[in-house]
């Protein structure tokens, strides 16, 4: 018998569960439902609500001999104690007998429900939770049916208390289970909501500014077992039973957060189906059952009234609506006419199918490798293909004995899900090493924090890697000690980002970290091992896919080197300016708005494919309206190289078409053959070309497995309104090191010299203004205003004060900024948040 398993009997059914399992969870495993309100499988048990009271009997033993006492029939005698016990706080033990359907249990459930309802308004008909409400469901199942309370004696409390502009509290619906408070403390460490007062006056309060200041606040509305916490996005928006749940992926999350879009066709939207809310979809390998507020609320762009709906062609200086055929004919004709001086720029939010079709058009149809991301920030996709996080990994498995390294990234602002998973790994005992220019929120959980001076990122990482090469018993300094821990760890995961770095520097960084992963300790390297490897903190949801699909001037789809490299983005912008290029096709990017391309330069022809009339689109000759991710299906690939599917949630707007289809229809006019009939078929084609995707198709990506905890379905009271994953967990593609010997990377010397004594670095903010987020009204007050962060002495020298406003000139643009002198910036470095990204370090002037 396995020593780690415990055998017990629940309602006559024998079950073996791991030691330490709680009775409620053991019961859940055999689908015996013990009702709960305060218990949540992801939170520590507190036993506050008493709903899970059950009879628990333990085998009796002779006090002298320790032998089991037996009944006449030979079965062990059981001691059920004097009363019921809470199944959420009692852990299983050998021979335990649990009874969940006896009269005393039924009676107490009825009593607990009656007690909770004594102060609960019966406003289910207008409550957002009605229909998926644990209290409502459990009342129907276990409640008394008739109230013993005089309705006039009910407590009445405030019903619309905004805890900030995202979450509303209905005080009289709250049953004081503290799930929300515990989530904020235990899971995400943002303890900005608490109980206030006592007894019947108890209420949830927040003092943060803005109210309920957490990137995770929306999750509390999922786990609230009543309608006390609701989101301003969904409040009074629809009834749960009218909604169609559509599995999807966050269009913002480089970690690949799984979501469900709840949609409804409605008269007020002209009969169109619209997105009413976004809730998490369980994927324990990716986001568990949580999503950040960015992933939850930033979807309104899909339904925005200013979306492009028809193709436009510039006629007599004005963009004029035309038919698709007219627009596509013109684009094909112009691109072909300029095929020796043509280039393509793409965004990295688009699906793999879009990106593949785009590069296919350029490489096959136009014979050009002038192809790049419009705003390429982070190098190392090719390095990741070699030593990326091994397939089959789950960051949830990292703990004691493992190590995580984070370099040049503020995970909390760039990808909160990775921040959460790294934090939790550290809490489980993994060693966390953080190297950054400045303090970040991850430092609090780190075992080693190293701060490098501006321009010394690479030098510092090189020192770390070199230190790891040397066998040492006594560490001479912290860096050596950290290096020793990293190299000796059972598993090693390295995250790297681009804060303050140029593209070339990120390439060096990726290779240095790859070499760290390839270093052998006792004849074994980390690279290629499950739960070890490199993770680039990509700026967008499908930057990884853009590498895989070959949106690169030198690497075709599947990382195959091209014969002659084309122009990269920087060269393209220069050629636009000096006339080296005649035609440019921009898909899902806004280089003009991002400050990368000042104007259309000497271009003869500019075609822009977009959701909105961006700054770039305004200058175009042809504008092609694309469908948002919500209107079609496709795949994204996460930074952990997990290829995942999303599904069509709403009907296409106007005449919009999927990006891949538009590119393929242009290709059709260049004699490249008929476009694929569906995204799934295009994916099948690309999986034949991209070796890493070999064997994948829409069916294999849709495979699911049982996950713990069980959520969704009728169990909303147990796990909250996160959806059970029935649409696919995705597939991680294998890094080369998993199967082949990978040699060390050659790493060039060199950091960029710092040319100024107060360099300026752009730092990330989750709510940095941009085309998509600006369409989300409820986040308007939380958008990161452009802010210059300075160290106190530096601020004094240049004569700026905390809270002041000023105008600075940076990279040739002037910007109005607020000044913040609160200790975030280290001495000798200025930080700029809330603005579009720029590479490396800039000089700035105060105007």
Partner 1 sequence: MTFTEKYAAEIEGIMARFPHKKSAVLPLMHLAQHYYGYMSREAMEEVAAILDLDPTHILSLAGFYTLYYEEPVGTYVLEICNDLACALRGADEFVEMACDKLGVGVDGTTEDGLFTIKTVMCLAACDRAPMLQCNLKFEENLDEEKFEQLIARLRDEAANGRTPPTVVEKVAAYAKSTS
Q: How far is the CB of 491 from partner 1 (least distance, A)?
A: 32
Q: In this complex, which beta carbon is closest to partner 1, that of residue 65 or of residue 197?
A: 197
Q: How far is the CB of 184 from partner 1 (least distance, A)?
A: 9
- Give the binding range for partner 1 (CB under 8 A) out of 205-213, 293-301, 400-408, 520-528: 205-213
Q: What character string, x for contact with partner 1 (CB under 8 A) and - otherwise, covers 156-195?
A: -----------------------------------xxxxx
Q: In this complex, which beta carbon is closest to partner 1, that of residue 63 or of residue 198?
A: 198
Please name the residue ranges forming H helices in 207-280.
218-223
Q: How far is the CB of 202 from partner 1 (least distance, A)?
A: 9
- Give the binding range for partner 1 (CB under 8 A) out of 206-214, 329-337, 458-466, 515-523: 206-214
CA distance 486 to 470: 12
Query: Any bridge partners for residue 206, and if so which?
Result: 193
Host H or E run for residue 561: strand 560-561
The residue assigned the tokens 């299906």 is 633
SS3 annotation, 182-225 = HHHHHHCCCCCEEEECCHHHCEEEECCCCCCCCCCCHHHHHHCC
Residues in 564-603 at the binding interface with partner 1, rule: CB under 8 A? none
Neighbours of 669 (CB within 10 A): 17
- Give the binding range for partner 1 (CB under 8 A) out of 30-38, 196-204, 257-265, 532-540: 196-204
Which one among 205, 530, 613, 778 touches partner 1, defined by CB under 8 A? 205
Which pair of tokens denotes residue 594?
A: 């991002």
Q: How far is the CB of 160 from partner 1 (least distance, A)?
A: 20
Which one among 31, 63, 156, 198 touches partner 1, defined by CB under 8 A? 198
Q: How far is the CB of 192 from partner 1 (least distance, A)?
A: 5
Q: In this complex, which beta carbon is closest to partner 1, that of residue 12 or of residue 191?
A: 191
Host H or E run for residue 344: strand 342-346
SS3 assignment, position 760: strand
Q: In this complex, which beta carbon is closest to partner 1, that of residue 185 or of residue 321?
A: 185
Q: In this complex, which beta carbon is closest to partner 1, that of residue 38 or of residue 435?
A: 38
**Beta carbons of 398 and 425 less than 8 angstroms apart:** yes
b/e burial code for range 514-537 (CB count within 10 A of at least 16 → b): bbbbbbeeeeebbbbbebbbbbbb
**Beta carbons of 645 and 728 less than 8 angstroms apart:** yes
Residues in 779-798 at the binding interface with partner 1, rule: CB under 8 A? none
Q: In this complex, which beta carbon is closest to partner 1, that of residue 449 or of residue 464?
A: 449
Q: In this complex, which beta carbon is closest to partner 1, that of residue 149 or of residue 207?
A: 207
Phi, psi of 115 (to 5 degrees): -65, -45
Which one among 197, 316, 474, 739 touches partner 1, defined by CB under 8 A? 197
Q: How far is the CB of 128 from partner 1 (least distance, A)?
A: 24
Q: In this complex, which beta carbon is closest to partner 1, that of residue 194 or of residue 565?
A: 194
Decide if residue 207 touches partner 1 (CB under 8 A).
yes
Decide if residue 196 touches partner 1 (CB under 8 A).
yes
CA distance 567 to 764: 28
Q: How far is the CB of 201 from partner 1 (least distance, A)?
A: 8
- Give the binding range for partner 1 (CB under 8 A) out of 202-210, 266-274, 335-343, 455-463: 202-210
Q: In this complex, which beta carbon is closest to partner 1, that of residue 206 or of residue 508?
A: 206
SS3 assignment, position 279: strand
Which pair of tokens denotes residue 333?
A: 């004709």
Q: In this complex, which beta carbon is closest to partner 1, that of residue 208 or of residue 521?
A: 208
The residue assigned the tokens 């003869």 is 604
Phi, psi of 137 (to 5 degrees): -65, -45
Q: How far is the CB of 547 from partner 1 (least distance, A)?
A: 40
Which one among 79, 93, 208, 774 touches partner 1, defined by CB under 8 A? 208
Structure-derived torsion over alpha carbons of residues 707, 712, 715, 716, reported in degrees to the nearest 10: 130
Q: In this complex, which beta carbon is closest to partner 1, that of residue 196 or of residue 520?
A: 196
Q: Omega of the bond prior to 709 within 30 degrees of 0, cis?
A: yes
Q: How far is the CB of 206 from partner 1 (least distance, A)?
A: 5
Q: How far is the CB of 163 from partner 1 (least distance, A)?
A: 10
**Beta carbons of 296 and 279 less than 8 angstroms apart:** yes
Decide if residue 206 touches partner 1 (CB under 8 A).
yes
Binding residues for partner 1, rule CB under 8 A, total 12
CA distance 425 to 282: 19
SS3 assignment, position 407: strand
Q: In this complex, which beta carbon is closest to partner 1, that of residue 211 or of residue 719?
A: 211
Neighbours of 443 (CB within 10 A): 15
Neighbours of 783 (CB within 10 A): 15
Kindly list the residues in this chain that would bind partner 1 in the complex (CB under 8 A).
191-198, 205-208
């Amino acid at each position: 018998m396995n020593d780690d398993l415990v055998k017990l009997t629940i309602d006559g059914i024998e079950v073996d569960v791991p030691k330490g399992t709680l009775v409620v969870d053991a019961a859940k495993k055999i689908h015996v439902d013990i009702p709960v309100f305060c218990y949540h499988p992801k939170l520590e048990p507190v036993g506050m609500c008493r709903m899970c009271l059950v009879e628990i009997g333990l085998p009796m033993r002779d006090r002298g001999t320790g032998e089991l006492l037996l009944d006449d029939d030979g079965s062990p005698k059981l001691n059920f104690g004097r009363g019921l016990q809470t199944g959420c706080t009692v852990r299983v033990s050998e021979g335990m007998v649990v009874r969940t359907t006896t009269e005393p249990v039924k009676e107490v459930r009825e009593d607990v429900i009656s007690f909770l309802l004594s102060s609960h308004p019966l406003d289910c008909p207008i409550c957002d939770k009605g229909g998926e409400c644990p209290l409502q469901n459990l009342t129907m199942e276990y409640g008394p049916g008739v109230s013993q309370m005089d309705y006039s004696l009910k407590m009445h409390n405030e019903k619309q208390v905004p805890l900030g502009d995202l979450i509303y509290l209905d005080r009289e619906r709250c049953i004081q289970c503290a799930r929300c408070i515990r989530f904020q403390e235990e899971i995400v460490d943002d303890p900005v909501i608490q109980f206030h007062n006592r007894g019947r006056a108890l209420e949830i309060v927040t003092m943060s500014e803005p109210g309920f200041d957490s990137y995770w606040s929306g999750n509390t509305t999922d786990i609230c077992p009543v309608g006390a916490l609701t989101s301003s996005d969904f409040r009074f928006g629809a009834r749960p039973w009218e909604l169609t749940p559509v599995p999807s992926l966050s269009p913002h999350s480089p970690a690949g957060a799984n979501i469900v879009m709840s949609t409804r066709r409605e008269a007020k939207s002209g009969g169109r189906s619209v997105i009413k809310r976004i809730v998490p979809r369980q994927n324990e390998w990716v986001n568990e059952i949580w999503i950040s507020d960015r992933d939850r609320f930033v979807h309104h762009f899909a339904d925005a009234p200013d979306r492009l709906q028809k193709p436009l062609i510039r006629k007599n200086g004005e963009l004029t609506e035309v038919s698709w055929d007219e627009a596509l004919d013109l684009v094909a004709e112009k691109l072909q006419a300029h095929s020796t001086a043509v280039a393509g720029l793409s965004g990295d939010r688009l699906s793999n199918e879009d990106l593949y079709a785009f590069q296919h058009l350029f490489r096959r149809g136009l014979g050009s490798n002038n192809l790049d991301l419009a705003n390429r920030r982070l190098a190392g996709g090719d390095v990741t293909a070699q030593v990326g996080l091994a397939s089959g990994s789950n960051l949830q498995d990292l703990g004691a004995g493992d190590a995580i390294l984070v370099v040049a990234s503020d995970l909390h602002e760039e990808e909160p899900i990775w921040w959460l998973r790294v934090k939790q790994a550290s809490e489980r005992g993994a060693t966390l090493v953080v190297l950054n220019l400045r303090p970040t929120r991850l430092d609090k959980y780190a075992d080693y924090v190293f701060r490098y001076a501006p321009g010394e990122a690479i030098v510092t990482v090189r020192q770390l890697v070199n230190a790891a090469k040397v066998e040492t018993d006594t560490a001479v300094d912290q860096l050596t000690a950290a290096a020793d821990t990293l190299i000796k760890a059972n598993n090693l995961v390295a995250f790297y980002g681009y804060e303050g770095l140029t593209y070339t520097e990120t390439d060096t960084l990726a290779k240095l970290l790859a070499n760290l992963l390839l270093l052998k300790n006792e004849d074994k390297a980390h690279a290629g091992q499950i739960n070890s490897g490199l993770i680039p903190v990509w700026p967008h949801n499908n930057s990884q896919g853009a590498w895989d699909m070959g949106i690169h001037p030198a690497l075709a789809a599947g990382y195959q080197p091209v014969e002659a490299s084309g122009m990269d983005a920087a060269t393209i912008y220069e050629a636009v300016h000096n006339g080296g290029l005649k035609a440019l096709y921009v898909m899902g990017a806004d280089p003009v708005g991002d400050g990368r391309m000042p104007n259309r330069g000497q271009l003869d022809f500019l075609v822009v494919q977009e959701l909105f009339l961006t700054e770039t689109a305004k200058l175009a000759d042809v504008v092609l309206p694309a469908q948002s991710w919500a209107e079609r299906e496709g795949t994204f690939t996460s930074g952990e190289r997990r290829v995942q599917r999303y599904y069509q949630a709403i009907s296409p707007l106007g005449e919009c078409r999927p990006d891949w289809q538009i590119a393929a229809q242009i290709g059709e006019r260049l004699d490249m053959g008929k476009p694929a009939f569906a995204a799934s078929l295009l994916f099948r084609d690309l999986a034949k070309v991209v070796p890493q995707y070999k064997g994948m198709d829409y069916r294999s990506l849709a495979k699911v497995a049982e996950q713990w905890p069980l959520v969704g379905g009728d169990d909303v009271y147990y796990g909250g309104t996160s959806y059970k994953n029935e649409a696919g967990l995705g597939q991680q593609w294998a890094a080369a090191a998993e199967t082949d010997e990978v040699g060390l990377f050659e790493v060039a010397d060199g950091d960029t010299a710092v040319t100024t004594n107060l360099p300026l670095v752009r730092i990330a903010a989750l709510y940095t203004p941009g085309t998509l987020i600006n369409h989300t009204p409820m986040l308007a007050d939380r958008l990161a205003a452009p802010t210059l962060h300075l160290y106190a002495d530096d601020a004094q020298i240049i004569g700026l004060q905390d809270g002041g406003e000023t105008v600075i000139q940076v990279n040739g643009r002037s910007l109005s900024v607020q000044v913040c002198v609160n200790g975030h910036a280290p001495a000798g470095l200025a930080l700029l948040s809330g603005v579009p990204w720029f590479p490396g370090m800039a000089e700035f002037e105060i105007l």
